[in-house]
Amino acid sequence: MKIIKRNGSEVTFDVQKIVAAISKANAVVEQDHQLTREQIDRIARKVEDACATCGHTVSVEEVQDMVEDHIMASCAYEVARHYITYRYMQNLKRTRNTTDDQILTLIECNNEEVKQENSNKNPTVNSVQRDYMAGEVSKDLTRRMLLPADVVKAHDEGLIHFHDADYFAQHMHNCCLVNLEDMLQNGTVISGTLIERPHSFSTACNIATQIIAQVASSQYGGQSISLTHLAPFVDVSRQKIRRDVITEMQELGVDPDFPKIAEIVERRLREEIRRGVQTIQYQVVTLMTTNGQAPFVTVFMYLNEARSEREKLDLSMIIEETLRQRFEGVKNEAGVWITPAFPKLIYVLEEDNVREGTPYFYLTQLAAKCTAKRMVPDYISEKKMLEYKINANGDGDCYTCMGCRSFLTPDRSGNGFNNVANLKNYDGKPKYYGRFNQGVVTINLPDVALSSGGNMEKFWKIFDERLDLCYKALMCRHKRLEGTLSDAAPILWQFGALARLKKGEKIDKLLHGGYSTISLGYAGLYECVKYMTGKSHTDPEATDFALSVMQHMNDRCAEWKAEQDVDFSLYGTPLESTTYKFAKALQRRFGIIEGITNKGYITNSYHVHVTEEIDAFTKLAFESQFQRLSPGGAISYVEVPDMQDNLEAVISVLQFIYDNIMYAELNTKSDYCQVCGYDGEIQIVEDDGKLVWECPNCGNRDQNTLNVARRTCGYIGTQFWNQGRTEEIKDRVMHL
């Protein structure tokens, strides 16, 4: 059995250290108040047993909390007092060098928590270590000087989570929709070099990847681009190829045969599209940004975004090639085709592609085939999104999320915010590309419920107090961005990705009026409702309470928006490392409560609990009502077995998504063992109290020779996960 030390390193659990610690406290009290040796041994054994059945690798702090509880339960109050005092004094000593210890364990790859903090970062690589080291310094500065003490305390106790504190010291925002159209059509500047409008599709794709890399290094969240912005360059290449073919025929003395010319042009054009899409695919997965990982980029595929039928046909060719290449995958170091994490793909289900007989149904069939093998694309229903996202003109808009799931609010100006960003492609229409999110703070809903003791009146009072704290923390994020000069990230603020401001101009006008959003995240609605009502939120007797919790958070966001003229929006947080952090905090504060705190994770956003037996269609229909109340971001999923031989069932799910829910995905498995060549599902097994990944064919447990891809929380992870998330993945039941 393992234990995680305060500096994040993992060591073997040693029960004698517990005996020694209790004995030291015991030795300094009067004999009449001392514990016997048998009592000390009994306490140590109880703690050991509790750690063994905890379901995750425990931390030193958790163990010490257990020791305190058991000493108190033995009525040895004097011993407990000395034990607590000793802990306090040791903690004071540690505050002087915590950051140094964290950095040293990072360099030596001994920090187990950081090693599994991000499922798409490899912590053994120098660039990742450099980012984490800088992050530790930034977090230390943020905690000591930049955030109010009550926000830091609430974050440490797990009442809220102040996301991405390692980037807060810098004037950086979260995620965005890149205005690739403006940059490609009107030119941009990258690293001081003027990039003019490209003269071919392949060049446009190459420039797009350079823009992606630059944007990723200038912010800390995800970004999205639309293939529609590349579609006009297909015809640019078509015309260029046509001229070249005619010239070649003339040079050969051959009379131009126009049907033959068209055939040759389309064949060469298809090859250029293949090369261009391949450039995006391979550059994204091989680029390493300044934060030590491939760019977190989403590629949006929306046919009705095209401006003409010709452009729509050209866009369909790009989408088809993108899906074909993702279905194929990428080769790992052993030359085996595997599932890459990025780019994330989103495919829009529309009237002309969702059913048999519609013009572009063949693309949906290809998307279904790709999903069954590679877990992407994810799906947006144009039908439902046009219902949900209503702009100031009363019209529905369909657009992509920013990276994983963070959605912009509808354009409340109705005219593209009067071109506040000074973009060259301003047309007076509602605007989404070029907008961004300022940051996220997440509330721990189960903690609100547990703190109330089940008293409904107390629940709403505590709820509002915690929301006030989230508001305070979110305003810290907003104020940190105010006054930022466009010079801080020229690619974003000066050269078209988000705006074309002047050098030295402040970005403040982009922070107000709805141009950007700021997100109130939430987690653990299931556990919150279960504790307060005794039932899952899927139970009709508990659903109304769950919806009222969601509505209350929306109401508070509306209050803050009216007060600040900033678009606060409710966001279903994609918990990765935080799911484990919140779960441990709940166990520390309230102990183990069956069905509430007995797991190493809490449930993502409004989702049905991963262990709950429910079919795919019922789950999607149920969650759709919560997705509508999570306008700042949400995604639902269904867990499915290998569906490659049952694509009709996949199509049925997609058609159900189109009619019932705005944004959803199918989770399947995509693994490979480099030792024996097994390409089925890599299993999660328990070993000495720790969950590990194991090839069921050869028993290989070396993560360096296992390629595992799993949906983490809206995006695919390939670098493994912390113990809490691993437990959650292990517990997932099938919905189909």
**What pLDDT digit, counting tens, does each position of 224-268 carry?**
999 999 999 999 999 999 999 999 988 888 887 788 899 999 999
Whether residue 112 has pLDDT greater than 60:
no
Catalytic member of 59, 111, 174, 316: 174
Please check whether residue 411 is in contact with residue 378, taking contact to mean a CB–CB distance below 8 angstroms. no
Token representation of residue 108: 């030596």
pLDDT tens-digit map of 551-588: 999 999 999 999 999 999 999 998 777 888 899 999 98
Which residue in the list 226, 406, 569, 577 is annotated as catalytic? 406
Q: Quick one: average pLDDT of 50-75?
A: 86
Average pLDDT over residues 11-32: 90
pLDDT above 90: residue 199: yes
Q: Taking a C-beta distance cutoff of 8 angstroms, is the pair 486, 566 a contact?
A: no
- pLDDT of 213 over the 60 cut: yes
Is residue 493 a contact partner of residue 479, using CB atoms and an 8 Å limit?
no
pLDDT for the residue 326? 95
What pLDDT is recorded for position 683? Answer: 95
**pLDDT for position 62:** 86
| Average pLDDT of the residues in 670-694 | 90
With a cut of 90, say whether residue 103 has pLDDT above it: no
Q: Which of 175, 401, 470, 673 is catalytic?
A: 175
**Which residue in 402, 437, 219 sits closest to 299, CA to CA?**
402
Q: 681 or 88: which carries more pLDDT confidence?
A: 681
Q: Which pLDDT value is given to residue 286?
A: 80
Token representation of residue 546: 């769950």
Report the mean per-residue pLDDT for the chain.
Answer: 91
176 is catalytic: no
* pLDDT value for 3: 86
In DSSP terms, 664 is beta-bridged to 379, 636
Average pLDDT for 608-636: 97
pLDDT of residue 60: 87
Told to judge if 437 belongs to the known catalytic residues of this protein, a careful annotator would answer yes
Q: Which residue has the higher pLDDT, 79 or 526?
A: 526
Active site annotation includes 601: no
Q: What is the pLDDT of residue 578?
A: 85
Please answer whether residues 435 and 571 qualify as being in contact, where contact means their C-beta atoms are separated by less than 8 angstroms. no
- Among candidate residues 220, 526, 531, 571, the one labeled active-site is 571
Span 455-481, average pLDDT: 98
Q: Averaged over 286-291, what is the pLDDT?
A: 60
Give the pLDDT confidence score for residue 291 in this predicted structure. Answer: 52
Which residue in 172, 183, 404, 673 is the catalytic one?
404
Name the residue type at position 45: R
Banded pLDDT at 341 (limits 50, 70, 90)? confident
Residue of 576, 623, 665, 727 marked catalytic = 576
pLDDT of 580: 87
Look at the block and give the residue holding tokens 């918990």: 575
The string of pLDDT tens digits covering residues 392-411 is 999 999 999 998 899 999 99
The CATH topology of domain 175-389+397-731 is: Anaerobic Ribonucleotide-triphosphate Reductase Large Chain (3.20.70)
Task: Tell me the mean pLDDT in the region 469-493.
Answer: 97
The span from the CA of 227 to the CA of 302, in Å, is 8
Query: What pLDDT is attached to residue 495?
Result: 97
Residue 9 has pLDDT above 90, yes or no: no
Percentage with pLDDT > 70 across the chain: 92
Is the pLDDT score of 447 beyond 60? yes
Query: Which residue is catalytic, options 172, 402, 470, 553?
Result: 402
3-state secondary structure of 625: helix
pLDDT at 330 over 70: yes
If 0-12 CB within 10 Å is exposed, 13-18 middle and 19+ buried, where does residue 513 land?
middle
Instruction: Tell me the pairing of strands 297-301 and 223-226.
Output: parallel
Distance from C-alpha of 79 to C-alpha of 661, rounded to nearest angstrom: 58
Separation between Cα atoms, residue 189 and residue 207, nearest integer Å = 11
**Options 119, 179, 353, 437, the catalytic residue:** 437
User: What average pLDDT does this structure show over 63-67?
Assistant: 90
Query: What average pLDDT score do residues 118-138 get?
Result: 64
From the list 726, 445, 495, the residue with the least C-alpha distance to 607 is 445
Residue 670 a catalytic site member: no
pLDDT at 713 over 80: no
Q: What is the mean pLDDT of residues 635-641?
A: 95
Residue 307 pLDDT > 60: yes
Q: Tell me, what amino acid is at 135?
A: G
How far apart (Å, rounded) are the C-alpha atoms in residues 501 and 492?
9
Query: What distance in Å separates the CA atoms of residue 651 and residue 369, rounded to the nearest whole number?
Result: 9
Q: Average pLDDT, stretch 617-633?
A: 97
Among the options 8, 221, 714, 717, which is catalytic? 714
Look at residue 11 in the predicted model and tell me its pLDDT. 84
Q: What is the pLDDT of residue 627?
A: 97
Report residue 71's pLDDT band, with 50, 70 and 90 as the boundaries: very high
Look at residue 84 and tell me whether its pLDDT is greater than 70: yes
Question: Is residue 328 pLDDT above 60, yes or no?
Answer: yes
The full set of domain ranges for the chain reads 1-96, 98-141, 175-389+397-731
- The answer to whether the CB of 77 falls within 8 A of the CB of 34 is no
**How far is the CA of 469 from the CAs of 142, 172, 380, 648, in angstroms?**
17, 22, 33, 48
Whether 404 is a known active-site residue: answer yes
